[in-house]
Amino acid sequence: MNKYLLLVILVFAASCQVTETLHLNSDGSGTIEVVELRDEHSYMQLAKEEYSKEDIFKDTTYVFKDYFKKYAETFARTPKEDQNVYLRYADVKVHIKKSSYEKEFRATVSQNFKKAADIIDLYKAEDYADNIKKNYALTAEEHYYKVSYDYVGSRFNRTVTITDSIQLKKEFDQIEKIKTHYKGYKLVQSYVLNYHFPRKIQSVSNPLAKISDDRQSLLLQFLLTDCKQNPEITNLEVVLEPEAVD
């Protein structure tokens, strides 16, 4: 592995904050947003003298369906089954900012949904946009799990399913190697679920979840490297109090 690629992996796995924020309405609709933020103090420790040499500026916002038009010729050559996957992302909004001058490296991916089952796997949005641009096949992806959501009655579920156990093992082993590079460093590598509900929370499957005083929201935090090695630890079931009957 070359030095630059190793640094990229280190940055994501050892100096990144990922926050998934969900707001669920009483009718089951809502919004979801995933923010990946580079922690500058952590990155500075890893990059050392390279930190001051950065010269990057990018500030881009797009709605996923814009890529269907912008790269229409490429999209037309994409296999139909791949097109059907990408079309589910049509209304997803992406904002990417990379500024070595302001020291802000942030990617924000968001979606409005009518029901929780419509929420797509936002963690794949940037890769899929790149696929459309470069005409890459979905089969070339190295994603090894998928995230899905559901809200039925008073029960909300976030479910992670492993789709490629071989790739998971490769990722697990790679993270183990990476850990040796930042052992002893004080780094921020958080993965946070920040969920807001229309009624009070009755119970949560993960006992580590911190429920707000009004019992209508929760925070659940993990180490990002733990989540990449074992994505299923982020599975969550939240049971809300029954809806009041007039």
The pLDDT assigned to 6 comes to: 43
Whole-number Å distance between alpha carbons of 202 and 195: 14
pLDDT averaged over every residue in the chain:
88
User: Does the pLDDT of residue 127 top 70, yes or no?
Assistant: yes
pTM: 0.89
CB 17 within 8 A of CB 37: yes
Q: Answer whether residue 12 is part of any domain.
A: yes
The pLDDT assigned to 17 comes to: 87
Q: Answer whether residue 219 is part of any domain.
A: yes
CB neighbours of residue 205 within 10 Å? 12
The pLDDT assigned to 169 comes to: 94
Which residues are CB-contacts of 203 (< 8 A; sequence separation ≥ 6)? 238, 239
Token pair 């990722």: residue: 171
Whole-number Å distance between alpha carbons of 82 and 76: 11
Alpha carbon separation from 134 to 12, 18, 120, 129, 206 (Å, rounded): 23, 26, 22, 9, 40
Percent above pLDDT 70 for the chain: 88
Distance of CA 50 to the CA centre of its chain: 27
Q: Answer whether residue 246 is part of any domain.
A: no
The pLDDT assigned to 180 comes to: 80
Domain of 232, in residue numbers = 3-240
Q: Answer whether residue 69 is part of any domain.
A: yes
The pLDDT assigned to 184 comes to: 73
pLDDT average, residue stretch 37-65: 79
Q: Answer whether residue 83 is part of any domain.
A: yes
If one compares 93 and 74, the residue with the highest pLDDT of the two is 93
**pLDDT tens digits, 143-175:** 899 999 999 999 999 999 999 999 999 989 988
Whole-number Å distance between alpha carbons of 217 and 228: 25
Rg of the chain (C-alpha set): 19
Q: Answer whether residue 152 is part of any domain.
A: yes
40: three-class secondary structure by DSSP: helix
Q: State which amino acid sits at residue 221.
A: Q
The pLDDT assigned to 194 comes to: 98
Alpha carbon separation from 109 to 37, 63, 170, 238 (Å, rounded): 12, 10, 26, 23
Alpha carbon separation from 141 to 8, 73, 74, 144, 163 (Å, rounded): 18, 21, 17, 9, 12
Q: Answer whether residue 50 is part of any domain.
A: yes
30: three-class secondary structure by DSSP: strand
Whole-number Å distance between alpha carbons of 236 and 246: 30
Question: 125, 141, 139, 140: which is closest to 66 by C-alpha?
Answer: 125
User: Does the pLDDT of residue 84 top 80, yes or no?
Assistant: yes
Element containing residue 71 per DSSP (H, E): none
12 pLDDT band, cuts 50/70/90, is: low
246 pLDDT band, cuts 50/70/90, is: low
Q: Answer whether residue 245 is part of any domain.
A: no
245 pLDDT band, cuts 50/70/90, is: low
pLDDT average, residue stretch 43-58: 74
pLDDT average, residue stretch 204-217: 98
Q: State which amino acid sits at residue 125.
A: A
The pLDDT assigned to 45 comes to: 67
The pLDDT assigned to 16 comes to: 79
Say how many domains are in the chain: 1
